[in-house]
Amino acid sequence: MNGFRKFLLSVWEILEVVFIAVVTVFLIRSFLVQPFLVSGASMEPNFSDGNYLLVDEITYRFREPSRGEVVVFRYPLDPKTFFIKRIVGLPGERIVSQNGQIRIFRDDTEISLEENYLVGELKSTDNFDYKLGDDKYFVLGDNRNHSFDSRNWGAVSRKDIIGVARLRILPIQDFGLFEAPVY
């Protein structure tokens, strides 16, 4: 009977470890960080098809998203689909694009957006004028001429933003942290 009791205690310890591991992974993925696989060319050259990223889900619990940050969000027309894009416009702003130059209007201030992260031929050639409502964000892909983004389907609601891309894990030669550009 003593050997059977030791066996049961061993099984119980294994079950405890497995349970704790599963709960820990669940809590981390639900509230702190989530993996994301980039699919497509809309964020090139900064993010490529097949890049494996970690998305920080906790930052936006303490502050609102900022211009220039690369975010993962639920696609407004199909919430089961996730997209990755860069925030260009913030709630209440007017976003105007003419000849590849984006200008932001907020109250009495005009900002001409310097997008140093874009390569010349990747800048948008289309013109648009978009006014954002409260709690809405205007997002664009870095590869403007090959991106399906707010120009096509409108602004993203704050509630649909999952988190900010923080770390590229794969491919290993591109491993690194991301910082939002300073405008």
- For the chain, domain boundaries: 1-31, 36-177
First to last CA, the chain: 72
Q: What pLDDT was estimated at residue 69?
A: 94
Q: What pLDDT was estimated at residue 177?
A: 79
Residues 6+ apart with CB under 8 A from 167: 53, 54, 175, 176, 177, 178
3-state SS assignment for residue 5: helix
From first to last of its 183 residues, the chain has per-residue pLDDT tens of 677 788 888 878 888 887 777 776 666 666 566 788 888 888 888 888 889 898 998 899 899 999 999 999 999 899 999 999 999 999 999 999 887 788 899 888 888 888 777 776 656 667 889 999 999 999 999 888 888 899 999 999 999 999 999 888 888 888 887 777 776
Q: What pLDDT was estimated at residue 1?
A: 60
Q: What pLDDT was estimated at residue 27?
A: 61
Q: What share of the chain is helix, strand, coil (3-state, %, to 5)?
A: 25, 35, 35
Q: What pLDDT was estimated at residue 146?
A: 83
State the CATH class of domain 36-177.
mainly beta
Q: What pairing do the DSSP bridges indicate for beta strands 128-131 and 156-157?
A: unpaired
Q: What pLDDT was estimated at residue 99?
A: 79
- The catalytic residue positions are 42, 85
Q: What pairing do the DSSP bridges indicate for beta strands 101-106 and 94-98?
A: antiparallel
